[in-house]
Amino acid sequence: MPDTPVRVRFAPSPTGKLHVGGARTAIFNWAFARANHGSFILRIDDTDPTRSTEENTQIILRAMRWLGLDWDEGPEVGGDFGPYAQTERAAMYREALEQLIAKGAAYPCFCTPEQLEEDRQAARARKDPFQGYQRRCRDLDPDEARKRIEAGEPHVWRIKVPLDRGDVVVNDAVHGQVTFAARELDDFVIFRSDGTPTYNFATVVDDAAMKITHVIRGDDHLSNTPRQVMVYEALGAPVPVFAHISMILGTDGKKLSKRHGATSVEEYRDAGYLSDAFVNYLALLGWSPDGETTIVPREALAKTFSLEHVSKNPATFDPKKLDWMNAEYINAMTDQDFANTILIPELIDAGLITKPEDRDEAWWLTLASIVKPRVKHLGEVVSVCGMIFSHADTLAYDEKAVSKGLAKEGMGSVLDAAQQALGTLSEDCWTETAIDAALEPLPEKLDMKKRLVFQAIRAAICGNLVSPPLGTTMQLIGRDDCLARIARARTMAL
């Protein structure tokens, strides 16, 4: 369908949260729509009433918004092809069924489960190459069938696959030509006895009605495709282009699951990943603009995404690479942006500050400059710089800081010397340069290793041994509190 505008859809079933695999499918659809100036449609496939919930739908919508995958049609935004939830489209499925019945392309089947099982066994016993539904009700007399329906006999509706249909060949945009043997195509159920459509039927009725041109979805659906092609043909609707994208595996080569850690989009949002980095990372699971480039910002993705560069090999979700990507995005931010959009909100959330304006802009920019290169995700902000917001009397000392930095022979004299050297600096001269200059001569003066001297001071000031550069940290903490911290630590030092 070269001249028709591209229309793609993401059709999650609200039976759970939005998972990494679903998010990647959504990203591919969104990017494909944007790159082709087409429409991206969100449809809620909620036909399984026992497992679908409104709460899950809301979680999915929220996750889609966080990912920045704006949809052109769908829940909340509407569109010309609605409604966009399958439960609201029941009349359309019924109408499509009537259409097939009128054409003689669907028929009622009254077989009981026992009968079906018996037929299956018999086909197996005679080694019939055709093992599916044995078409027992296919040629029932229509009047008799109608009477049985009117008498209330339970029945399903099956599609009448033309006997001469032959193999189904699907030209998948990712997998290439895939052939499904005719003998695998039976007259499958399109409407259940409870009057609800099956997935293969509802999906095609919707995709056809919504004029979907490309179906991009996980390759766990590849095996459904020949059946769906049968429904398109029965409806007389054009068959879209299919693109089945690979599975996502964990680093151990097994299908990604809870065992591998967080799998839902929300968990990554809550753990402090940036939406841009997360989208970039997922976009590269099975797609790459050139096999090399790793940083593909959203705008570039929306311009360059193409199905030709989608790999059919399974992709590996590696949390370490995601961390790396996230750190890249964080580092690419200006200090100002980092301070305003990450640092300050994280500190407020953690209850460490209430009024950021109590400190001036230069102070925040300095803090941003030392924290930014040290965090892989937002959740690390507080562990990197929380101690700056403590006070001498409340600062927590971690075990290592005490055992390695303080409770060791000679550390008391280091702290005494530091207290003295720093005490000579006035409030006005309390700058990183002056602090560094004051501390620099101490190792020689004390005849101790530089590493040990600074370890003790770092432990005293920060309560840990892994803080950002000491001079800048001390400048930000301020003179009086630094001296008070050293005095308190002195009581723990030997």
- List contacts with ligand GLU (CB under 6 A): 11-13, 45, 203, 217, 221
CA 315 from chain center: how many Å?
14
Task: Give 225 or 455: the residue with its C-beta nearer to ligand GLU.
Answer: 225
**Tokens of residue 322, six digits:** 């995601």
Q: 3-class SS at 181?
A: coil
Nearer to ligand GLU, 201 or 287 (CB): 201
Q: Report the nearest approach of ligand GLU to the CB of residue 178 (Å).
A: 16
Task: Name the residue whose CB lies closest to ligand GLU.
Answer: 45
29 vs 326 by CB, closer to ligand GLU: 29
Max CA separation in the chain (angstroms)? 108
Question: Whose Cβ is closer to ligand GLU: residue 19's or residue 377's?
Answer: 19
Q: How far is the CB of 9 from ligand GLU (least distance, A)?
A: 7
Between 219 and 276, CB nearer to ligand GLU:
219
Scored b (16 or more CB within 10 A) or e, 429-459 reads ebebebbeebbeebbeebebeeebbbbbbbb
Q: What is the smallest separation between the CB atom of 88 and ligand GLU, expressed in angstroms?
A: 15
Residue with structure tokens 């790999």?
311
By beta-carbon proximity to ligand GLU, the closer residue of 85 and 368 is 85
- Rounded Cα distance between 245 and 252, Å, is 20
What does DSSP say about strands 241-245 and 7-10: parallel, antiparallel, or unpaired? unpaired
Closest CB 13 distance from ligand GLU, rounded Å: 4
The secondary structure of 114-156, three-state, reads HHHHHHHHHHHHCCCCCCCCCCCCCCCCHHHHHHHHHCCCCCE
| In the complex, minimum distance from the CB of residue 343 to ligand GLU, in angstroms, rounded to a whole number | 38
Q: Tokens representing 124?
A: 């197996």
Cα 446 from Cα 453, distance rounded (Å): 9
Spatial CA neighbour of 383 closest among 284, 468, 273: 468
Least CB distance from residue 14 to ligand GLU, whole Å? Answer: 9
Of the residues 147, 160, 254, 258, which is catalytic? 258
Torsion sign, CA atoms 213, 217, 223, 224: negative
- Closest listed residue to residue 22, CA positions, set 53, 43, 36: 43
CA dihedral 49, 53, 56, 57 (to 10 degrees): 80
Check whether the bond before 356 is cis (ω within 30° of 0). Answer: no
CB of 162 to ligand GLU, least distance (A): 24
Q: Give least dist CB 405 to ligand GLU, A.
A: 54
Nearer to ligand GLU, 224 or 316 (CB): 224
| Alpha-helix residue ranges (DSSP H) falling in 238-293 | 265-270, 275-283
Q: Which of 11, 96 has the CB closer to ligand GLU? A: 11
Residue that the structure tokens 């193409």 belong to: 306
**Alpha-helix runs per DSSP H in 68-110:** 90-103
Residue 309, C-beta contacts closer than 8 angstroms, at least 6 positions apart: 287, 288, 289, 290
CA 275 to mean position of chain CA atoms: 9
Closest distance to ligand GLU from the beta carbon of 46 (Å): 9
Q: Based on CB atoms, which residue is closest to ligand GLU, 256 or 456?
A: 256
Whether residue 258 lies in the annotated active site: yes
Contacts by residues 219-226 (CB-CB < 8 Å, ≥ 24 positions apart): 219/174, 219/175, 219/244, 219/245, 219/246, 219/247, 219/312, 220/247, 222/172, 222/175, 222/178, 224/199, 224/200, 225/168, 225/170, 225/172, 225/178, 225/180, 226/168, 226/170, 226/180, 226/184, 226/185
**Residue 384 structure tokens:** 């990197």
Catalytic residues: 258
